[in-house]
Structure formats: structure tokens, C-alpha cells
Chains A and B, each alone.
Chain A
Amino acid sequence: MTQSLDRYHRQILLPCFGEEGQRKLLGSTALILGCGALGTMNASMLARAGVGRLIIIDRDFIELTNLQRQILFNEADVANAIPKAAAAKEKLSGINSDIEIISVVDDINHANLERYCGLTEGSEYPRVDVIVDGVDNFETRYLANDVAVKHGIPYIYGGAVGTFGAQYAILPHTEKGDAPWEKLPGATPCLRCIFEQMPPPGLTPTCDTVGVLGPVVSIIANLEVVETIKVLLGNFAAVRPTMLNIDVWENTYRQLKIAKAYDVGDCPCCKHRKFEFIDGFFGSSTTTLCGRNAVQLTHKQGHVGTGSHSGGGGMNFDEIADRLRKHGKVTANKFMIRAELTDNGNPYELTLFTDGRAIVKGTKESNIARSIYAKYVGA
């Protein structure tokens, strides 16, 4: 690589960086999972910092309501209905043409994430050095967590909704225990060490149902970027070992000490090396319904309160119905909620049942059904 490092001069000046650090960054690959509010900020800052290769995956198309916080997009993208990942690549190439940007327009799921991380035999993608969380649902996070622990790849978790956000870096326990971070400062607990199961569907608020303040997402995204850069520089001792929870409206900034979660728990993922999300044993699955322009989405296991059947699970039907009413006509009885929604200009009907399963009418595409579910119910 004969690139000039001039453009990175101001960060090379930093003692923690130097030219050597910059070269490390240029030689590394980061996966940005999701390209919404978090992902656009992650991608923008990592591209500017000179991470050599960025893989950006997102299934969605840009909508007007994204522009309030998703910094890489503009009105023309909305008018042209461009996929987020493709638009991000185009914008970022204009910001830093030295680096390679790979955009993928796809649903992230248990069958493809390892391939996109360059971890399967014959994968056309480079092996990633870090996974950066820009997703909008827990199922994908638990899947990313599985991939991180299975393959020993640091996973930078971040999430924001309303005026609240959380950020945490997972330096996974590996099978052999010989990853560079495992001696010093030591591996950190994984998501399943902390919460073994996902929250029940419909219980976690989403940006599309309760709203989100733009800056809180930017703050969380930038905290993720800081931890990502530390990881890519190999400076694991600098990685913050706590989970940071902030509420920018309540002015609370809390650091949760979670280091013990690994020791006290019996994590199926870290300790038993069972990767139930990768194996497709947990998570959700979709099927196109016979004869209908509709997709059914069902949950397998892995949620708090949802087993194979739980007759009510952890879902709060009234609350969900109230949230959905802000988006369209809702009819509900004790068996189901039916909401007529307009998403990105297209009409959909979402029917939600007490165990968290849903039927999305108006599409045959599981990508779209998953996206609607993640946005309006929360997965």
C-alpha cells in the first residue's frame, strides 16, 4: 500500500495512534451490521478514520422519516428509493476513496451472517476483524453475538431508542482461550451471559413505535466507533469493560459493571459453545402463506416467556395496540391485533397473535415482513 497517510495526520498525531496504528487500521476489516441511524454514523466515522475495508449490510430502503437521524442520506435518496447499503457506499466513496467499501442489500440471518463475515469456507467476503452493531432488533444481535463468540471476533454492541442508549464491547471468550485480549485485559461477558434470552417480542420499544432523538443515536454510534478503533488498533486494555447506559433527557450516565456475568452464569454460548442462533434453533422464521400476498413470521425459542407455546408469552397486547394506533387503523380482540400500516408508501396489514407470531399482508418477501415486524412490533 503506497497511499499517503496525509489525510489521517490529525489522528496520527495522537499518541495512541501513530503511523503504525494508522497502518493497522488501513489493514483491517469491519462489518457494519445495519445501516440506519447507528450504522450510518458508524460507517461514516470508520471510513473517515481509514478502516481499510468496510462491509455494510442492510435490507431496507431509505425513507423520509430516516433523514432526521441517518446522516449519510438525503432527499434525493428518498425520492429514488435507494437501498441504504448502496447509498452509503456511494456517499462514503466520495468521502474516502482509499478504502474498499462492500455493500450488501440483504436480510441478515442465521444462514448468511457467517458468510458475510468471511468465516465460511469459500466465502467471497474478507474475514472481518470486528462486528459493529447498527441493527434494530435483538434477534440479529443475538445472532451476531453467537458469531462473535464462535469465531472469536470482537462485537461492539450499541442500541438507542427514545432518549436512551446503551453501548458495550464484547471481547469474546474463545474456545482455545488464546485470543489477544484474553490474557489482558481478559475477555468480557457476551450478550447471553448478561441476558440469556432475548426480550419477548413486542416488549422492547422501537424507534418506529416510540420515537428516537437523533443525537442519542449519534452519541451511542460514536461510542461504538471509539471501541471499534481501540479493538482494531489492538489496544484491548483501553476497551471500556462496562456497559454504558445513558439517558440524554434524564441526564443519567451509568456504567454497569458486568464483568462477573460470565463467572456467575452458565452461558450456553460462551461456556457450552452452543450457538443456538447460528444453528437456527432460536430466532424467528418466515413462510410465505399459501395463496396470499402474505408472510407469516414465527418465533422458535430464545425469548423470555416464549417457549414452543406460552399462551400469551410476555406480550402486552394493550400496549402494543396503543403503539400501533399511532400508525394506522387498529382492530383488536383477545386473540389478535390487526393494524393497517403504511410503510415507505406501501400499505401493509400486520396481524399479531398472542405468542408473538405475526402475519404481514401486502408482501411475499420475508425481508420486508421482518423489517415491518422489527419496526412496528420489535424483535
Chain B
Amino acid sequence: MLYFDNAATSFPKPPEVAQAMAQLLATDAANPGRAGHRMAVRAEQKLDQTRLKLARFFNAPDHHRLVFAMNCTDALNMAIKGVLSDASGAHVITTVLEHNSVSRPLQSLATSGGGGIELTRVTCDDDGLIDPDEIRKAIQPNTKLIVMMQASNVLGTIQDIAAVGKIAREHDLLFCVDSAQSAGVLPIDIQAMNIDLLAFPGHKSLLGPTGTGGLYVGTRCPEPVSSSSGSGDHPAAFRPWREGGTGGDSSSPSQPAMYPFYLEGGTPNTVGVAGLDAGLQYVIDHDMSKTLTHEQHMVQTIIDKVADDDRFILYGPPEASKRVGTVSINIKGYEPSDAASILDDSFEIAVRPGLHCSPYAHRRIGTYPAGSIRISPGPFNTDEQLATLLDALDQIAG
């Protein structure tokens, strides 16, 4: 199988990932924090080391505010519902490119009766780029939050989040970044980019296993509801959307108002985090910029093949430098799902057809509802594999 579906989840993972997970399972897979015995302590330490490593990787000032999540969707729900559940009447700015893990929580807050929010979806240009100035123009007196992605999962286009972060800070807004397609390939600096909430998956370019992800919650976000004062009298509190056991402070009737425990109710995925730790280490050791260059080279090769061939349709900019390792195309005469099935069936090539959970993006580029064929190479794809893919596309297009 030739795997070109890294935007969904990366494959293969470096062997160290499975090794780290097996090791943890074999020796240290106790429930962290819940007991003082040495295995529990080792598991807790493992979590804490990875937390710190991730915080440093994203240049987050306080690693305790980095909470583990089960995927990027989980992290985005925590972030969006966390800051907005007390913010009735607040205005939120997002973009048409967003994934359903952003659009749907926002939509449900916008349509929920009573404490609903007001929502603006800023559109992109024909290439799939968001102009930060359009975001600035959308700001209203009641705007509270800007939520957007750093790179599109449909077009791969890289957005200028540093510029948007600056705007957000100038207007005293919270800025939440969905780094699903960028964490592990594009530099992310929480402080320099003025990011208040960073959601990331562990299982894509950070090369960890599925079931991992995380959220950084900056200090400009509303404070947790303190356990002693109960809820209700904190109009602008950050709400945990999952409450439960935290391994400490069990006497308190409500969730302890301390990070990371505030948002980490329940037994954490220590085995997954051990894998994520190894994946992250691989990324750190192998120079992210080289991975980006490699993936952009692959994308450019695909673009060069299809851009001027009228059997194909290319979406997004012709320059791979404007993208992470993702490109969407269609083959004329084929539904994307049919073409992808042929790639799998006759050529053993994995790509992803459809809407990629981003219906507004496909509406914008005119591919709704059939969608497109998304090709997303990763760090381990070779030029030879790419040649096989291009040949297959050629044969199918006929």
C-alpha cells in the first residue's frame, strides 16, 4: 500500500513510537497520580515530561497549561466550549476553510437558544488564502474570539496566523488556532504569534499514535471556576466540558481549578502519550523544515503534473510553497469517490475523497457536494512512490 493520506493521520510512524508504547505498557502502565506507588509516579512523570517537551516545542510559557486530549477535535471542543459557554451574545470570527471540529461546535453555540453566540465566517480568496485584513474588518464591539486554522486540510494553504494573532491582541480578543495540519511541520510560537488557545493532534505531523492530541490554554483566557466558590457567580469562567476524577483533590465537589487537572478528568492515555513523546522527539531530531521542504517538493511535483493537463482540475495555488503537504484535485469524468476507489483497488494507493469534513471550504472552491481527491504525502513517502501515484493518475484519466 502506498499511503498518501497523511492529512488524516500520519503513516507510517517512526518505529520508536511503537517501541515507546510497548515499553510503557510492559513496565509503567499504571494509572498516573492516583496513587503514590512508584509505578504511578513513573506514569505521572512520563506525562509531565511530554507536557514539558510539547510546551517547549510550541514555546508555551507554562507547561501546566498544556492539557492532553484524545485528538484535535477534543481539544477544539474544550477550547471553544470552554471560553464561550458563558459568553452569550459574544461575537466570534472564523473562516470558511474550517474543519467541522471548529465549525460544528461554533454552529451549535450559534443556534443554541438563549445564550447563543453571533458568528462571522470570513471567506478566502480563490487560492484558499485568508486575508488577515478581512478578519480585522469583521471585528465588532462584541467580538470575543477568533478561531482559525494554520493550514487548510483541503487545499494545504498556509495562513498568516502571526498577522491574525497580532490583530487579535491589538483588539484584546482571544485567538484560538487549529494546528491540525501544521503542528510538526510549520513553526508555531505561542508567544510570538499571540496564540491564546492552541489545539493540536498528536497523530498527524507530530507522528504520534491516534488517540492523542492536546490544547494549550493561555493566561488571557477566562479563569477556571474555583472549586471553593462553585459555579454560577463566575460570569466569564472557562468551563471544563468533561469533569471527573483528577487523581488529586478528591474532596472537592467540583473540578479542581488547577491546570492541567482542570481539563484532564479521567484516566489519561499514558500509552498514547508515550508514543506521542517518541513521535515528537523524532520531529525535533529531524528538522521540521526539511520535512516541509520534502512534502512541498512532492506537492509541487503533483501540481506540475496536473496543472496544465485538462484531464485534471487542480484546486488551490499552483505554488507548493504556499502549502503544507496537501493538494486537492479531481479527475474529469470521475466522481472523487470512484477515482479514490480505483486508486485503492487497482493501484493500492491510499488517498482520501470527499469533503474532508470541511463543507464550507468545498462550497467556496466549487466542489460541493462531491468534494475532491485529497493527496497528502508525508515525511516517509519517496519519489518512487510519487512516480507510481502520478502514473496511476495518468492511467485512470485515460
Contact A311 B354 (CB under 8 A): no
A236-260 interface bits toward B, Cβ cutoff 8 Å, 1 = contact, 0 = none? 0000000000000000000000000
A354 touches which of B338, B345, B356, B368 (Cβ 8 Å):
B345
CB distance from A305 to the nearest CB of B (A): 14
Decide if A355 touches B337 in the complex (CB within 8 Å).
no
Q: A291-B354, A296-B337 are in contact. Are A335 and B370 (CB under 8 A)?
A: no
CB distance from A125 to the nearest CB of B (A): 37
- B398 contact from A333, A338, A353, Cβ within 8 A: A333
CB of A331, distance to nearest CB on chain B (Å): 10
Task: List 19 interface pairs A-B (beta carbons < 8 Å), by A numbering.
Answer: A289-B337, A289-B353, A289-B354, A290-B353, A290-B356, A290-B357, A290-B371, A291-B369, A296-B337, A296-B341, A335-B342, A335-B396, A336-B338, A336-B342, A351-B341, A353-B345, A357-B341, A359-B335, A361-B335
**Which residue in A289, A296, A353 is a CB contact (below 8 Å) of B342?**
A353
Bound: A241/B359 CA distance, A: 59
- A353 and B341 in contact (CB under 8 A), knowing A290-B353, A290-B355, A309-B348? yes
Q: Which residues of B contact A290 (CB under 8 A)?
A: 353-357, 371
User: Hey, which bits of chain A sit against chain B, CB under 8 A?
Assistant: 289-292, 294, 296, 309, 311, 333-336, 338, 351, 353-355, 357, 359, 361
Q: Would B341 and A294 count as touching, CB distance under 8 A?
A: no
Task: Find chain B residues with CB under 8 A from A333 CB.
Answer: 398
CB atoms of A292 and B398 under 8 A apart: no
Q: Knowing that A336-B342, A353-B346, A354-B345 are A-B contacts, what are 17 other residue pairs whose CB atoms are under 8 Å apart, sorted by A's residue number?
A: A289-B353, A289-B354, A290-B354, A291-B355, A291-B370, A292-B337, A292-B369, A292-B370, A296-B341, A309-B348, A335-B345, A354-B346, A357-B341, A359-B335, A359-B337, A359-B341, A361-B335
CB neighbours of A355 from chain B (8 A):
345
Contact of B338 among A291, A309, A359 (CB under 8 A): A359
Q: A291 touching B362 by the CB < 8 A rule?
A: yes
CA distance A355 to B344 in the complex (A): 10
Residue from B345, B356, B357, B398 within 8 A of A357 (CB atoms): B345
- Shortest Cβ-Cβ A-B pairs, 4 listed: A290-B354, A291-B355, A353-B345, A335-B342
Instruction: From A291, A309, A311, name the one whose CB has the most chain B CB atoms within 10 angstroms.
Output: A291
Q: Which residue of B lies closest to A331 (CB)?
A: B333
The distance from the CB of B255 to the nearest CB of chain A, in whole angstroms, is: 36
**How far, in Å, is B396 (CB) from chain A's closest CB?**
6
Contact present for B337 and A335 (CB under 8 Å): no
B367 → chain A, closest Cβ, in Å?
A: 9
Cβ of A262 to closest chain B Cβ, rounded Å: 36
What CA separation (Å) do A87 and B109 show in the bound complex? Answer: 46
Docked Cα-Cα span, A335 to B398, in Å, equals 11
Which one of A290, A353, A355 has the greatest number of beta carbons of chain B within 10 Å? A290
B359 and A291 contacting across the interface, CB-CB below 8 Å: yes
| Across-interface contacts of A289 in B (CB, < 8 A) | 337, 353-354
**Cβ contacts under 8 Å, A354 to chain B:** 345-346
Most buried by A among B335, B345, B355: B345
- By a CB distance below 8 angstroms, the chain A residues around B371 are 290-292
Residues of A within 8 A of B355 (CB): 290-291
How many Å from the CB of B334 to the closest CB on chain A? Answer: 9
Nearest chain A CB to B327 CB, angstrom units: 18
Q: Given the complex of chains A and B, what is the CA–CA distance between A351 and B356 in angstroms?
A: 21
Give min CB distance, A65 to chain B, whole Å: 28
Contact B346–A335 (Cβ < 8 Å): yes
Query: Is A336 touching B341 in the complex (CB atoms < 8 A)?
Result: yes
Cα A292 to Cα B348 in complex, Å, equals 23
**Which residues on the A side are within 8 Å of B337 (C-beta)?**
289, 292, 294, 296, 359
Alpha-carbon distance A353/B269, docked complex (angstroms): 39
Min CB distance, A276 to chain B, in Å?
23
CA distance A336 to B345 in the complex (A): 10
Q: Which of B303-340 contact A (CB under 8 A)?
A: 335, 337-338
Q: Which residues of B contact A353 (CB under 8 A)?
A: 341-342, 345-346
- Shortest distance between the CB of B83 and any CB in chain A (Å): 29
Tell me the complex Cα distance, A296–B338, Å.
Answer: 10
A338 to B333, CA, bound (A): 12
Contact indicator per residue, chain B 356-384, by CB within 8 Å of chain A (1) or not (0): 11010010000011110000000000000
| B95 CB to nearest chain A CB (Å) | 19
Q: Complex Cα distance A311/B347, Å?
A: 8
